[in-house]
Structure 1
Amino acid sequence: MDEPISLLILHPDPHFGLYLEELVEDSPAFRGPIAHANSVEEGLHYCRDFVPDCILVDLSVPHFANIDVVSQLRAIHSSVAIIALTRQSSPTFAVDVMKAGAQDHLLRDAITPDVFTRSITSAVAQRRLTEKLEQQRQSLEIFTRAMAHDLKEPVRTIKSFAGLVQASEDLSAENQELIQFVVRAAHSMETLIDSISRYTRLETAQISVRSVSAPAILQVAKTNLRQQIESRQAEIIDEGLGTIECDDVLLTQLLQNLLSNAIRHCDDSPVIRVRTTYTSGACQLLVTDNGPGIATRFLETIFDPFIRLGRREREGAGLGLAICRKIAELHGGTIRCESRPGAGARFITTFPGAYIGTSAA
C-alpha cells in the first residue's frame, strides 16, 4: 500500500490508545497522522475537519459498548475503514458488528502487532478499492448520460434531413434506396445508444420488490410491442401466469426484451408461449418460441453484451439478453436458455422469493 494510512483511535483510556499506536509504529504503512479521542462526540467532532483512513473503536469499554457507535461512525464517510475491538467471540455478535458497518473486528485480548497491522491495512485497502469503484461507476454513468444526449441529437438531425431529402419528388429510385440506407443506419444508431444507456443504468438501479401480477405485466409488454407483433402477426399465448416477487418495471423490461427477441428471430408465424412455475422459494418465468433454435455452444454467450446471432440485417443492438441477465441478477436470480437447432428456444428466468404453497395456474 503506497499511500500512508491515517488513524483515529477511540478509547477512553489514553494509555491503551498509546499501546495501540505502538503496535503499528514500526510498520512503514503508518506514516500518516494518528489521532486520539476519548469519546464518540470528540471523535465525530474531529472527523468534521479531518477524515482518517481507519477508525479503531473499543466496544468492550464503557461509553463505547454499543454497536450503534459503529453505525454513527459509518455515517461519517463511505471511505472510512472501521475496526472494532471486542472481548466477545460470539459469531452472532461479529455478524452484527459487520452489519453495522465495520470492516473487521478483533478480540482485544488476542491482538499482536502482525494481526493488528494486517487487519488495518486490509480494511483500508478494501475501503479504498470500494471508493475507487464507486468513482468509476459515477464516471461511467456521467459518460453514458452525456453520450445519450450528445450523440442522439446529431442522429435526430440526420434522420430529419434524410426524411426531407426522401420526400423530394425529384429523387431517383436509386437515390431513394440510398437515402433509405441512411435512415435505417440512423435508426440503428439511435437504438444502440438507447440500449447502452439502459444497460448502464442497470448498474446503479435500486429495485423495489413486491408481489407483481405477471399477466398484467405481459399485457403491458404486448402493448409496448404492438407494432412489432402486428407486423409479424405474432401470437403470444399465456399458458398460466401467476405472481412474481420482483420489481414490476424491470420485469416489464425483461419480458418485453424476451418477446421482442423471439419475434425478431422467428422466420414465419412467431408463436410465443409464456408461463410461470413455482417451487419452494423460487418462481420460474418461461418464455418459449418456435424459432430456428440455438446451437449448444452459443447458449451461454448469447447473454454477453453485443452478441448477435442470425442474419445481420435483423434489427437489434445485441444488448437485449445482456439486459435480461442483469435484471435477473439484480433480483438475486438467474436466466438461462434451453434450445437446439430447429427446435425453438426456451428462456427460463428464476426469481427467488416466498412461493411456498403456491402452484402454477
Structure 2
Amino acid sequence: MSDRMVRDAASPNAGPSGGEGHSEAGGGSGAFRGTAAQSSVAGGSATQQPSGRSSIRRRLLLLCLVALAFLSGLMLLEMRESARVGANNAYDRVLLGSALAISDRVLVVDGALEVDIPFVAFEMLTSTAEDRVFYEIYTQDGAFLTGYDDLPDPPRRLLQSLLRQDQENIFYDAVYKGEKIRVALVSRFIAAPDFSTRYFVKVSETTLAREQLIASMVQEAVLRQMTLVLVAGALFWFGIGWGLKPLSRLKEALQRRSPDDLRPIEHKVPGEVQHLVDGINDLMARLESSITAMRSFTSNAAHQLRTPLSVIRTQTELALQSSQQDTPEGRQGAGQSDLDKRLRYLVQATDQSTRLVNQLLSLATATNGRSGDLERERLDLRDLASEVTGAFVPRALERSIDLGLENCDQPCPVQVNSPLIVEALGNLLDNALNYCPAGSRVTVRLHSGENGITLEVEDNGPGLAPELRGKVFERFERTGQTDSVGCGLGLPIVQEIMSRHGGQVTLHEAPGGGCLFRLTLDRAADDAIPEETVSGGGEAGQD
C-alpha cells in the first residue's frame, strides 16, 4: 500500500462511509479510536435558553391578577352588604305593613284591649321560601294579649329610642327556636274615656327568603367579577406581551449574532430598558477590547517565539553533529551517549514548541474577527482537496502510510476563505498521519449533495475510546496521551474554522475501525461571484 501515493479515484460508486479519524487532542496510537458512540460538534450552534426562570410577563400578570382579585374581594364584600341592606329594606316594608295592619285592629272594648287580627296581615308575608311568621301583642306594663309570648325582646337601646318616640317603629335581628328571625316592633298609644295605655305589636319572620335573595345577588356579582378578572387577565397578558415586543425583538437580534460579534446594540428599545442596553454595549466594548488584546498578545508572542526557537533548534543540531564528529572512534563512552540523547531530546522539544507556536498563530487567525468579516472566494473544493492531499504524500510515504484521495466527479463550489480551509484539512491529515501506525490507510473523500459539500478524512487506525470522543475538540486536551508530538490544538482550530464558515465538523467511527472526521460546508450559489465579501451563516449579527 505504501507505493499507492495519491488515489484520485473519482468513482461514482464511492459513497460516504461512516466514521472519522484522529485529533490533536488525542495522543498515541490508541488515542481517538472508538467502537459505537458518535461525537458531533456543530459550528456556531445556537445557545439554548435556560429554563425554569421567572418571566417579567408572568410576574406582571400575576401582580395585576392579585390586585384585581383583592379589589374584587372588597367589591364582593361591599356588594354583599348592599344586598343585605337592600333585601332587608324590601322585606322590612312588608313586615312593617303587616305590623301596622295588626296595630290598627287593636281596640278598647269594655275597658280592656281586644285584637281582631286581619287575615291580610299574614297573607302579605307569604313567600316561595316558606318562611315562618310569628307575632306578639302586649302592653307597656307587660300584659300579654295574644301571639307568642316568648319572642325575643329588642335591644335596650332601640327600645328606649322607641319609648322616647324618636322612632315610630324599629327592626332588629334575633334568634328564635334555633332560627334566625327579623322582627318589626310597632308602638302605639290608645286612649278611651275610662282607659288608656301603650301597646306594642311584634311581627317577625324567618330570614330564608332574604338569605336566598342575598345569595342570588352575590352569586351574580361573583360571576360578573370572575368574568371581569378573566377578561382583564387576557387583556393584561396580550397587552404586556405587546409592550414587551421590543425586548423580544432585541433577544432575537442577539440570538442571530455569532459568538464573536461584539458590535454595539443599536436596536430601538423602550426608555425603561435603554439603560440596560447601554450597560450591555459597555460590557461588549470592554469584552471586545479584552479579547482583541488577548489575541494580539497571542499572535505577537507566537511571532516573537518562532525566531529564537528556530535558532535553538539549529544550534542544537549543529552541536549534535559536532559532538559526533569530534569524538574519536571507539572512545564514545556512556557520557557521550547520554549527551547525544539529551541533544536529541532538545531537538524534539524544540520541534514540539515550534509546532505549538505555529498552531497558536493558526488559532489566533481562525478566531480573529467576526464571521461577517471573513474574506471569502469562490472555488471548487476538489482542487483544494487535491492540492492539500498531494502536499502530505511525502510525509505519508516516510511513515509507510497509504494516503489517497477519492475525489468527486461533480463540481463542489464553495464560498470560503481558502487559507483557513487549507489549515483545517491540513490539521486533519497531520493528525491522522501522526497517530496512525505504519501500514495504515488514510483516505480523503469528497461528496457533493443538495444539502452541501462534505469533505471526509478517514483512517483505519486503532481508533478512539467512546468516553474520550466528547473531549477531542477541547483546547489543549490530549485525552491522557503524553508520548506524541501533538499539543491539543489541531481539532479546536478545525472547529473554529468551520464555525466561522457556518459549517460543522463531526467525529464518527469509521466502518473498519478508526476515525472519520466529516467537514460540512454550504454549497455556493450558481450565480457569479459577488463583488462584496460574502458573509457566512447569514446576517447573524444584525440588530
TM-score of the superposed pair, with normalisation by structure 2: 0.43
Aligned sequence identity (%): 22
Q: Deviations over 1:3-58 (max 9, x none)?
A: xxxxxxxxxxxxxxxxxxxxxxxxxxxxxxxxxxxxxxxxxxxxxxxxxxxxxxxx
Q: Is the 8 A contact 2:320 2:343 kept in 1?
A: yes
Alpha carbons of 1:269 and 1:215: their partners in 2 closer, same or farther (altered >3 Å)? farther
Selected match of 1:198 from 347, 350, 362: 362
Q: Deviations over 1:182-224 (max 9, x none)?
A: 1111111111111112102211154333442223212321343
Alignment match, 1:335: 505
Give the greater-gyration-radius structure (CA). 2
Alignment match, 1:152: 306
1:189 is aligned to 2:353: yes
Selected match of 1:293 from 463, 484, 495: 463
1:228 is aligned to 2:391: no
- Runs of 5+ unmatched residues, structure 2: 1-245, 258-262, 328-335, 527-543
2:266 maps to a residue whose letter is: Q
Alignment match, 1:10: none
Alignment match, 1:59: none
- Runs of 5+ unmatched residues, structure 1: 1-87, 107-114, 357-361
| Paired residues, number | 254
Q: Is the 8 A contact 2:379 2:413 kept in 1?
A: yes
- Runs of 4+ displaced beyond 4 Å: 98-102
Q: Is the 8 A contact 1:295 1:339 kept in 2?
A: no
Alignment match, 1:175: 339
Q: Deviations over 1:326-348 (max 9, x none)?
A: 11101111111012798111111
1:348 is aligned to 2:494: no
SS in structure 2 of the partner of residue 105 of structure 1: coil
2:326 maps to a residue whose letter is: D
Selected match of 2:412 from 225, 232, 243: 243
The 5 Å alignment of 1:35-54 reads none
1:140 maps to a residue whose letter is: M
The range that moved more, 236-245 or 320-329, is 236-245
Selected match of 2:496 from 322, 326, 340: 326
1:274 maps to a residue whose letter is: V
The range that moved more, 221-230 or 293-302, is 221-230
Alignment match, 2:271: 116
SS in structure 2 of the partner of residue 335 of structure 1: strand
Q: Deviations over 1:230-285 (max 9, x none)?
A: 21133232223341412222211111111111111111223122223344332221
Alpha carbons of 1:130 and 1:244: their partners in 2 closer, same or farther (altered >3 Å)? farther
Alpha carbons of 1:211 and 1:116: their partners in 2 closer, same or farther (altered >3 Å)? same
1:195 maps to a residue whose letter is: Q
Q: Is the 8 A contact 1:293 1:341 kept in 2?
A: no
SS in structure 2 of the partner of residue 299 of structure 1: helix
SS in structure 2 of the partner of residue 303 of structure 1: coil
Selected match of 2:268 from 94, 105, 126: 105
1:239 maps to a residue whose letter is: E
1:289 maps to a residue whose letter is: D
Kindly indicate whether structure 1 or structure 2 has the higher relative contact order, using CA contacts under 8 Å at least 6 residues apart. Answer: 2
Q: Deviations over 1:80-112 (max 9, x none)?
A: xxxxxxxx9xx8xx98xx999863225xxxxxx
Alignment match, 1:261: 431
**Aligned alpha-carbon RMSD (Å):** 3.0
Q: Is the 8 A contact 2:412 2:523 kept in 1?
A: no
Q: Is the 8 A contact 1:238 1:273 kept in 2?
A: yes
Q: Is the 8 A contact 1:299 1:339 kept in 2?
A: no
Instruction: Return the alpha-carbon distance in structure 1 between the equivalents of residues 382 and 480 of structure 2.
Output: 30
Q: Deviations over 1:56-88 (max 9, x none)?
A: xxxxxxxxxxxxxxxxxxxxxxxxxxxxxxxx9
Q: Is the 8 A contact 1:208 1:247 kept in 2?
A: yes
Q: CA deviation at 1:290?
A: 0.9
